[in-house]
Structure 1
Amino acid sequence: MLDFVGLGLYDEKDISLKGLEKIRNADKVYVEFYTSILMGTDLEKMEELYQKKITVLSREDVEQHAEDWIADAKDMNVVFLTGGDTMVSTTHVDLRLRALAMGIETTLVHGASIASAICGLSGLQNYRFGKAATVPHPYVTSRGTRVISETPYDTIKMNRDNGLHTAVFLDIDKDKGYMTVNEALSILLEVEGKRGEGIMNDRIAVGVARAGSPSPVVKADYAEELKDFDFGVPLHILIIPADLHFVEAEALVKLAGGPEKILEDVE
């Protein structure tokens, strides 16, 4: 049996009772931290609460050598842990399909997801979100040219044209670290300046930091101003709303400290 268990948003205590039961009844427990990470805990705290040894898998272990550890589930109870909700990443869906191809039964134990948390924290309506985007760190080519991806900008533009908000996930890189809301906005505004299309100019953006923690930060402001706001330590996520419903506008002012002008823009 291979059980996929979502750990939730912030620390070891976010796990569900059902997930905790799965872990404590497991013969082997694995976790990966490259698609998401719990910033409010560490492996030692997790093992102490869960009362189980946990093996951390690298990206290569998960994506290239998964059969090596999935095979344990042929005759043992194996649990695979991920931050947030399980199966949100296509990588995890692929693991489940590999297990099924090997004749291994799988189950899912869901955890709190950032996709729903940002709606609750900001007051933006969940059914109004379109395709999500990810802003990767810029990179430098062998010729010394700095390259930034314009794909997230295109996704935001497409969503806005359809009246949909965009959840913008921020890159996690083992060398460059955790991208911040400030860095992501600077990159998007740089693309804006290059293309001159105006989807970010004079538009509201929302930054969320440390969702699920005792003191999350949620701040709404116009993109040019928000890129200078101090969100503190990671993890961060960015939201680029489309035109706002009046209840959403009120929420961004009262729940996310947005400027009063947001209310005027929807009146």
Structure 2
Amino acid sequence: MLFFVGLGLGDAKDITVKGLEVVKKCKRVYLEAYTSILTVGKDALEEFYGREIILADRDMVETNSDEILRELKRKMLLFLLLVIHLEFALEFHTLYRATTHTDLVLRAKEKGLDYRVVHNASIMNACGCCGLQLYNFGETVSIVFWTDTWKPDSYYDKIKCNRDRNMHTLCLLDIKMKEQTIENLMKGRKIFEPPRFMTVKQASEQLLEIVENKRQKETTH
């Protein structure tokens, strides 16, 4: 059985009773440690859970996931999914938006292995603390880091659509962990770029550039 357990909003004690029971009974516990960031250290989690935790970096999760699944043939394992990152609310439909974790689920199903999701709180529901009514939120969008050759702007159209309907938009800001340059990737060199976390300023600048580009197109036409 492969378990995906939500940790809550960041504190070691945010895990649910059900989630903690699962953690304590599993033979091995992995902490997915690259699509999000911890507000507490691994040591704090280990102390509260009373269990050793194995950090699962990008290579382990994306490249060596079959090794984890093979262990399921012999032991009860737990893949401890961190849900601090905005995009990974552990509601079933939202879980399937996270391609990394979707891949794990699909691989497990292909091998005839069962999995379970233990839900927890996430920014998808906690954003109500900002004072805005959750009922008035429209479609959530992800704002990704642009590159010199890749500048998607589809999220702007969704934000505009929400505004036209007089609805709020929850914007999920990009995070880059253990990213490689194309040169290092092609040459197989395990050299990674420093972690990057999109700021509100960066997200706003990209949105303003999209607005300006759209205005110029309208003027030319």
Verify the 8 A CA contact 2:35 2:176 in the aligned structure 1.
Answer: no
Residues in 2 aligned to 1:76 and 1:35: alpha-carbon distance in whole angstroms: 26
Give how far 1:90 is off: 4.0
CA contact (8 A) 1:36 1:82 kept: no
Aligned partner of 1:51: which letter?
G
Q: Which amino acid aligns with 2:36?
A: S
Question: How far apart, CA to CA, are the structure 1 residues paired with 2:106 and 2:66?
Answer: 11
- CA distance in 1: counterparts of 2:119 and 2:47, whole angstroms: 21
Greater RCO (CA < 8 Å, at least 6 residues apart): 2
Match status 1:139 vs 2:175: no
1:18 maps to a residue whose letter is K
Shift of the 129–176 alpha-carbon distance from structure 1 to 2, 3 Å rule, reads same
The residue that corresponds to 1:161 in the other structure is 164
Which deviations, in whole Å up to 9, do the C-alpha atoms of 1:79-131 show, x marking residues without a partner?
Answer: 11122243532432332232122122212111111100112x12222233332
Q: Which residue does 1:230 correspond to in 2?
A: none
Q: How does 1:91-130 map to 2 (within 5 A)?
A: 91-119=100-128, 121-130=129-138
CA shift for structure 1 position 60: 3.1
Stretches of structure 2 lacking an aligned partner (at least 5 in a row): 84-88, 178-193, 217-221
2:47 aligned partner, one-letter code: E
**1:184 corresponding residue in structure 2:** 203
1-structure distance, mates of 2:127, 2:166 = 18
Distance 1:61 1:176 in 2: 18
The TM-score, its normalising length taken from structure 1, stands at 0.64
More strand by share: 1
Q: Distance in 1 between matches of 2:35 and 2:163?
A: 27
Deviation at 1:18, TM superposition (A): 1.3
CA distance in 2, matches of 1:83, 1:5: 8
Please tell me the residue identity of whatever aligns with 2:145: H
Which residue of 1 is the match for residue 76 of structure 2?
A: 77
Aligned equivalents of 2:113 and 2:74: distance in 1? Answer: 9
Specify whether residues 186 and 176 from structure 1 end up closer, same or farther in structure 2 by C-alpha distance, changes over 3 A only. Answer: farther
Partner of 2:28: 28
Q: Which has the higher helix share?
A: 2
- The structure 1 residue matched to 2:175, chosen from 156, 172, 175, is 172
Q: Show CA shifts across 1:228-259 (max 9, x none).
A: xxxxxxxxxxxxxxxxxxxxxxxxxxxxxxxx
Residue 19 of structure 1: how far off its partner (Å): 0.9
Whole-angstrom CA distance in 2 between matches of 1:195 and 1:176: 31
CA drift of 1:176 comes to: 4.9
Partner Cα distance (1:176, 1:95) in 2: 24
